[in-house]
Copies of this chain bind each other. A is one copy, B any other.
Amino acid sequence: MPEKLFKVDLNKTMDKQDVPGHNRWHPDIPAAFSVNPGETFRMECLDWTDGQIKNNDDPSDIRDVNLERVHVLSGPVHVNGVEPGDLLVVDILDIGTFSAHEWGFNGIFSKENGGSFLTEHYPEAAKSIWDFHGIYATSRHVPNVKFAGIIHPGLIGVAPSQEMLDEWNRREEELVEQNPNRVPPLANLPTRESAVLGSLQGEEFERVAKEGARTVPPRENGGNCDIKNLSRGSKVYFPVFVDGAKLSVGDLHFSQGDGEITFCGGIEMPGWIDLHVEVIKGGMDKYAIKKNPAFRPGPMDPHYNEYIVFEGVSVNEFNGKQTYLDANTAYRNACLNAIEFLKTQGFSGEQAYMLLGSAPVQGHLAGVVDIPNSCCTIALPKDIFTKNILPE
């Protein structure tokens, strides 16, 4: 185990940890510790909700979740000598669970509180608890499936510069203004409520809380990209916007399907992640990796290679209206088609929906130019099912 460590106590919320992390993006959140390029360190993480979801059969905690608390992140870590314009190269060496907490959760958020990708079809909150058996997960709430997860951090990112942060706030405010009362909202703006900002206190806390961007959306700094293949052994190239880069991580997933469609989320869990950092000086210009991170996936995904694939096209499923190449509608229809099929195989709609959010399913953009219909696909590995589900 690396000597340098961001430590968490599973019995305390993030603000009560000896060295608290944060749940907002801001360049002025102080670093938890510093490392040199070439160093390896371990980040222990709480689950993204800060422990709000319990291992039981009652989804009311999902329904009533305090979303202003998310995502509680570990960090930031200051990397010595790294400057704006550099690329921070982060190796994800390994990720694991805590032996005292070998389970995770997936949930469908209520339309009234968060919503989800299929919220018009599944507006009620639901929850599934997943037990870990080494590399495998099973759930008493979604029977007849067992799969090896692609363990990964749903969220990993560096701090924005003040200018970048201001831009984020501007563009998200403009969006919300288009429909300020929408449920679920178009975006979550900065809020002091439930903010955790490392060791900041007093006036500095108030200023940063007022400006600090919410962690839900992925942005130029990486952040909550929910990329399931950013797994063990991956190498990430982050553009750097502030001195020391200020790397943070959290939202660990034991597994997740492409899209994280139930919103809460993959199989969410606390755990640890070992990171190694290097720097490519001036790398942002040299490789034109400026707008978003790039990465190389690791070599250890489970080799599920036999799939059943469902297609969707971009015609609205409620009113039959033709959209113009809307990939969201296409992927939504692909997911709905998969769920309808799974309902013929003994799953309830909610079970099928949570399975698509949890298992290593592949969501692909197939055709994005064939006007007026996008085509997206969702691919389910046949070997995650404990009995044959293929049409015969």
Which residues of chain B have C-beta atoms less than 8 A from A116's C-beta? 369
Which residues of chain B have C-beta atoms less than 8 A from A174's C-beta? 321-322
Q: Say how many copies of this protein the assembly contains.
A: 4
Q: How far is the CA of A347 from the CA of B383 in the complex (A)?
A: 25
One of B274, B343, B363 near A288 (C-beta < 8 A): B343
Q: Which residues of chain A from 356 to 392 have any CB-CB distance to chain B below 8 Å in the complex?
A: 362-377, 379, 382-383, 388, 390-392
With known contacts A1-B99, A365-B365, A333–B291 Cβ distance under 8 A? yes
With known contacts A117-B368, A258-B364, A391-B287, A311–B294 Cβ distance under 8 A? yes
Q: Which residues of chain A from 314 to 350 have any CB-CB distance to chain B below 8 Å in the complex?
A: 315, 320-328, 331, 333-334, 337, 340-341, 343-344
A37 within 8 A of B: no
A73-81, A120-128, A131-139 - interface stretch: A131-139
Q: How far is the CA of A392 from the CA of B237 in the complex (A)?
A: 10
Which residues of chain B have C-beta atoms less than 8 A from A291's C-beta? 312, 333, 337, 340
One of B262, B296, B302, B367 near A309 (C-beta < 8 A): B296
Query: In the complex, are the beta carbons of B344 and A286 less than 8 A apart?
Result: yes
A258-298 CB contact bits vs B (8 Å, 1 = yes)? 11111100000000001010001001001111111111111
Q: How far is the CA of A99 from the CA of B286 in the complex (A)?
A: 38
A221-254 CB contact bits vs B (8 Å, 1 = yes)? 0101111110011000100000000000000000
Q: How far is the CA of A117 from the CA of B89 in the complex (A)?
A: 31
Which residues of chain B have C-beta atoms less than 8 A from A309's C-beta? 227, 229, 294-297
In this complex, what residue of B is CB-closest to A305?
B303
Query: In the complex, are the beta carbons of B175 and A372 less than 8 A apart?
Result: yes
Q: Measured between C-beta atoms, what is the minimum distance from A8 to chain B in Å?
A: 16
Q: How far is the CA of A208 from the CA of B333 in the complex (A)?
A: 30
Which residues of chain B have C-beta atoms less than 8 A from A191's C-beta? none
A310 within 8 A of B: yes
In this complex, what residue of B is CB-closest to A216?
B370
Which residues of chain B have C-beta atoms less than 8 A from A185's C-beta? 371
One of B134, B292, B325 near A232 (C-beta < 8 A): B134
Query: In the complex, are the beta carbons of B292 and A311 less than 8 A apart?
Result: yes
A87 within 8 A of B: yes
Which residues of chain B have C-beta atoms less than 8 A from A274's C-beta? 134
Q: How far is the CA of A229 from the CA of B82 in the complex (A)?
A: 41
Q: How far is the CA of A326 from the CA of B365 in the complex (A)?
A: 13
Q: How far is the CA of A217 from the CA of B364 in the complex (A)?
A: 17
Query: In the complex, are the beta carbons of A367 and B218 less than 8 A apart?
Result: yes
One of B187, B226, B290, B377 near A367 (C-beta < 8 A): B226
A142 within 8 A of B: no
Q: How far is the CA of A341 from the CA of B289 in the complex (A)?
A: 7
24 contacts between A and B (CB under 8 A): A1-B100, A91-B134, A93-B134, A117-B369, A135-B298, A175-B322, A175-B324, A187-B324, A217-B370, A218-B366, A222-B311, A226-B366, A227-B311, A227-B364, A258-B366, A259-B369, A261-B369, A286-B344, A294-B310, A294-B311, A299-B306, A299-B383, A327-B328, A327-B331
For the A-B complex with A226-B367, A258-B366, A288-B340 known, give 20 more contacts whose Cβ atoms are closer than 8 Å: A93-B136, A133-B276, A174-B321, A187-B372, A217-B370, A218-B313, A219-B313, A219-B373, A259-B367, A260-B368, A287-B391, A289-B391, A290-B340, A291-B340, A294-B337, A295-B309, A300-B303, A301-B303, A325-B328, A326-B328
